[in-house]
Structure 1
Amino acid sequence: MQRPCIVGTLLLLLLVAACSGETDPAEDQAPSSNGKTEDEPSLVGRLPGGFGPAKFHNALTTATGFSGATIREATLDVSGDFWVAVDGGVSRRTESGWINYSPVEGLPDPRTRTIEVGDDGRVWLGHQSGLTIFDGKAWNQPTFAASLVGLEVRALLLGEKPWIGTGAGLFRVEGETLSLQQIPGLPGAVGVHALLNGSDGTVWVGLDQGLAGFKEGTWTYLHGIEGLPSGAVLALAEGTAHELWVGAEGGAGRYDGTAWTTFDYGNGLGGGEVRALELDAEGGVWFALGMAEGDPFSGGASHFDGTTWTYYSTEDGLGGNLLFSVDRDRDGSLWFGTWGGGFSRFDGTAWTTLERRDGLACDMVGAVLHDRAGRWWFGSEGGVTRRDASGWTLLRGEGGALRPYRVTAIAEVGQTEYWFGTAGGGVFVLSGETWRHLGTVEGLPGDFVNTLLVTEQGEVLVGTDSGLGIFRDTSFVKLGAAEGLVSDTVTALKVDSKGRIWVAGFGGVSMVQGEVVTPFAAADGLGQMAVRTIYEDAEGTLWFGGEQGRVTSFNGEQFDTYAPVELLLGRQVTAGLHDEHGFLFGTADGAVVYSEGGSWYEYRPVTIAGEVRTIYRDREGALWIGTTLAGVVELPPLPGK
């Protein structure tokens, strides 16, 4: 879908950072104090919440220096302000700088999907659970939008009678009335992904399967015809010759009024689904591509000038290969929204990238560490951020090696060494100023790392999706199901007071004592099929927490399993912690469920957005929650009643 252009003079205001990823360790992002002058780093944010009187929880946002950003869409309002919808909220670029909107500022759902500006200047935002409109002062839900609550709004077409595309069908607004549009030939309501108002008056609708057109009260449904790309239609655009361009899961298609032509991997278009389309000043077409499963060479951006195809990827300077959007500004530059790689601009010659450290509101944090020197380490998509008394430092590894991966675990080894486990990239080790990589070639069981633990003897335990790696001296010892572990997938690790290593997995737990591996599963009384957390209390009893809040204890002789936590029934547990304070479980819907005094409670502060990825308790007893959409949030003492 074409967007309004971006005012060229605004680009001079953007703090654009190069994203080539070719820096060495000494050139990682320099510390930024963000104007703080205190001796100790300030982690105080501006996100209120809690019980009773409003309290300001500590919240780390992109304004404080996190790496990467997932851009959904961008647009320009009538005053010239630049609006960017990201996973985590909305960022608005004014002449004086960035303004970020989150649930604290009235945004009901930070899981944005689409953004448009009407002729009256109001900003319409479609998100995971409905529609919200910004009137210049506040975010409000119009009367007609009450019917959209709970529906994912994916596409907007504004005008006298706005059209709203959702995951459950197409709606049209007339005054304050909202009506569901039934498309003849389709089995009821279907998911809508894209909307386009054609120059001949046809409203084109991209659907889960195929394409529909509405003109003069009549619907036409196109599906399975020769030349129309397969799968969901995700993007629509009209060319300078009034031809219709379609971006779909199966490639791209062009309709010239007579026949369809398909473009895919085989005839010039790069691999992956076409997420967005945009025309350039010369009438060429730009394609923003998503990644195809199992194809590491898919994604990126393609350009077709009518004769020749040109392809761009991260090797050319694009911030990331998985794209969501493409928009053209009034200077003719193209802006590409990426997943985890920021907002990339191509001026026809060179690429530059606007990232989170430039003020965008998006965070995805999967690991937290407070080291012995008092420094904070936060692992996220594409890198690690370190916070000390001098400010923030962004670390991406040697040559930007961490950029493609999500950091899932962090461990402090010795006095000067830090290990960073990743999803798909193995382990990256920082020793002073020097980086090294440990992967399957070096003996690591697998490159998808879930957890790290350092023993008193200095061994590093690495839990992966392919087994446990024990790093001793200079090499790994590998343990998996073949060696006796209950599962190759390792989800949690613990060394008990007797020096035994406990390894949790999807099938139960295993005890490693010397060279002997003893597995425990449901048949042994464990009662757990997916263990996520292990804790040893003062009496030496081991406690295991798993899916749906199932809790099992082991006194050295037998297992005792307790009834599942009712608050967690039917919910996906994504993180867990058990210590002297009790059990805590994080869920996929952004809640923390915890035990206190024999009872279970649920806590859902407005500061948590998205999935809870990690729960960390620091030396002072404060809880830090890493999320997929709201960065990392410090919680106040949880109420027990």
Structure 2
Amino acid sequence: MIKPILTLLLMALATGFIQRPEAWSQEINSYTHDEWTTDDGLPQNTILSVIQSHSGYIWLGTYEGLVRYNGTSFTVFDSRNTPALTNHAIISLLETTDSTIWIGTRSGLFSLKNQEIGLPDFSQRTQGRFIRSLAMGQDNELWVGTDNGLLQIRNGNVKEYRLSDGLISETITALTTGPDGSVWIGTPLGLIRLSDGQFFTYGLREGLPSLYIRSLVTDQNQTVWVGTSNGLARIIDREIEKAPPGLAPENPVITSLMSDREGGLWIGTDEGVYRFNAGLQSSFTTADGLSSNRVRSLFQDREGTMWVGTNVGLNTLRRGRFTVLTSAKGLSDDYTRTVYEAPDGWVWIGTSSGLNAWNPADNKIRQQFQGLPVTEVLSVASDEQGQLWVGTAGKGLYKGRAGVFSPVVYSSDQNGSVIRALLPSSNGGMWIGSTRGLYHYRNGQVSLFTNRNGTSNNFILSLAYEASGALLVGTSNGLNRLNPDGQIDMIRLPGGGLMSNVFSIYPEADSLVWIGTDAGLYLLKAEKVFRITTREGLFDDVAFQILDDAQGNLWMTCNKGIYSVSRQQLLDLVDGRRKSVESQAYGKTDGLKTSQCNGSSQPAGWRTRDGRLLFPTARGMAILNPAEKPTINTTPPPVVLESILSYNLPMAVSQRVELSPGIKRFEFQFAVLSFIEPEKVQCRYRLFGYDDDWIDARNLRQATYTNLPPGRYRFQVIAANNDGYWNDDGASVDLYVEPLFYQTSWFWIILVGFFGLLLTGGHFYRISSLKNSERRLAVLVNERTRDIVAEKQRSDEARESLREKSDALQVALTRLQQTQFQLIQNEKMASLGQLTAGLAHELNNPMNYILSALVPLKRDFDLLTSLVNDARQLPIPGLADALHLHDYDEILKEIPVLLSGIQDGAKRTEAIVSGFRRFARPEEDTPKKTSIADCFETTLSVIGGRLSPSVLIVKDFKPVPLVDCFPGQINQVIFNLISNAEDAMPHGGLLTLSISPKDENTVQFSVADTGEGIPEESVKKIFEPFYSTRQVGKGSGLGLFVVYGIVNAHHGTISVESSPGEGSCFSVTLPVRMQ
């Protein structure tokens, strides 16, 4: 019954349980890995069961409830939000073909259908039982394994199997079904097959490694795999075979099993997860990043991602484009610095903890080498004799063969020198790039090139030969060319500068040279240098290494990952045929353990003879086969409309949603159920009937609308997966926004009818009212006629009164002008201030009376005019003759003219009085900060009316600080000086008024004329009392004396500059602050 174990061993050897050369590319510890725990939203870390529903959600069973995952967030269902779910421990999950999710708990079976969780119709047969396992048989038949027997459920009918029916134990630990309708049943006491109503038992005698069956699965070849507490077995043709030796750990506890679409078998144990496929086995454990080695559940979703539930969280594994060689596979350290393929096919890898030799043929790695210290290796190269040269970080230079090395003395003082680049020379020597310059070593002879010889810098980072044979030397500050004749040239940028940190140099056969720096990618073409940066589309400005994949792309590394660019796009950009390039970036989602690549070493990347690309990173050596086309995710992502919120309150989601009247804001929340690189998922939505075009949701999974007009709409959301495959149908819902009562058609119909009735009734009422008014009008005509005659008499009296007031106002205005003239001529300015202030006060009262009386007078006149005009429309006998007799129309024309004249005169008088009041303001007890420019303007407003039109005024007012003074007195000073200047120019001239700062504490202002000037003998006496240059009787001789006194009282000075016939200039200086 049991097939010989030897057959399996021979098969294992034939298929290569000892890994084939390409085996490393299929190992799951090179897969991309993600994990989630309670820190990310899980209610509890033990993942007992995982499934994907028909809608696309991932469902998880935990000890603290049922969990739904949509790619961005977890939603937990428990008794707190789902009262029907009375038990939180979700042990098993299964979705049947009718889209019902069956939920097995510690205390019964529940179902989830149409978004509702509840008890099935047969719940009385399942409640209270520990539901350990679930399986689907033929015709949507449900098998339920409990701790108290096996249940078969078909079309709602329950059939129960107990010990009396042939079970060897009523505790059912695992279930699986076969295509022939048989059911395999795992128990703590052995395995059972139920076929055609008969039970067949399998135990240790039949070949089971243990009686305790923990998991069962049927693969695509119809092989039944049996996981026990002591290893794995399989059943072929209903006979048990033990798993081949070396498959999974020896005698492991098999906790879960899963068969993937590629024919691989996934094995969950207490020591990690394993995968067995085509004779190859690999594992993924906590050493590789698994959240826990105790695996509880396994599941593969539609996109091929493997979900691994453990005791300490949820994990996903999927094959990335890159595989990574790490310390877990034998490297001395994950921090790799340089990689080089020797002519014999061995790949030499320098790490921070020594040199490693990797043989891709058998995937073996060697770490220890005689004579070579365990230190950081930065550069590796082979010479023409086949010797391997190794440069270290401060520990010297070594060369050797067959794993035996010896130090190379290339300098008398080489301690601490870091060797970052090695390159064999054409004469059998070796170029050595160090931090102290460029060395050439050949048969013990050493030459040194430094900045003294013409290199731009001694810190050597990279070396390469041009097609011409010249040596290109990259430094931390510039690229140099060492010509065969020993001449060194610096390759400069178009502006004359130098490149910084030349990490890598890649010469092509056609004399093009690509140069990687920390400031962009450069191209040296026909002695011209072109620069390409992120502004032109590069993923990053750093290029530690440049590799050509022989497929038209250049690959570069940086601190943020690995990226590739089309070589032709780069050349087209340089030649001006395109404005930008497209970069493809790769990181952790593509299989890298870290995005950080390493540079400042040579080589910092390598293309092997079979075309693979090798890249040193901070967590292992990344390996890529560019000829191997990446797996494209062609599964359009399911799109689910999860909820509709109105003012943050959820609404029921159905095919048609109605919004109550008055809802101003609501939002749609949706999910895109693609779990491969969900950050690359694209999403668009549109509200048909409102949005003109599709709206990019970016990284949001909601759409908010406000103030939608009433009407019918359709909301649709579509999405594309990480590789751009769109689900153009997406999810949609019809939306009806109900109108408010006043937005409905019936409201407007009723409203129009109401207004129609209202207008009709109003019309008849108006006719009736007009007839009644006509009757009353005859009675009122006589009364109105008498009122009009009386009002005419009052109008005549008012007109006469207005004429009298106008005459009085004209007399007052004339007197006011005469008084103003007399006051201006008065040299005694002190009396002028008091007189002007009193006069302004006395004039202000009657002016207020006149102005206030004009308002009611005009109103009465308008009322009278309206009354007469209304009366004219009535058939009043004799009214027209009476109006004509008294020249009523002429009166109507005359009175507005009189009123306007009175108002204009009153306002003019009010302005003059206001000017007087400002000019002759009463002085305060203390000086106040005053603008000298305001004093000039106030004085000009008073005196401006008397200045001759032939006098041209020029103002030169510069910004000065406010001055402590008595403004009324300063007004008097300016008034006297302007008056004197005008008198000096009887035939007109130029009057210049100036203000300027003399220094930071003094302000100066002046009044200058172009008049007759003052004789020299008079200038000395000009400020004396009773001295005047005018004719006798034309002046008192006190004006400038008063001015002098005011200026002196303000601690200022006054001076005059004058010559006969050339005019005069009076200048006053005042301190900003009075002491």
TM-score of the aligned structures, taking structure 1 as reference length: 0.41
More strand per residue: 1 or 2?
1
* Greater relative CO, 1 or 2 (CA 8 Å, sep 6+): 1
Larger Rg: 2
More helix per residue: 1 or 2?
2
TM-score of the aligned structures, taking structure 2 as reference length: 0.25
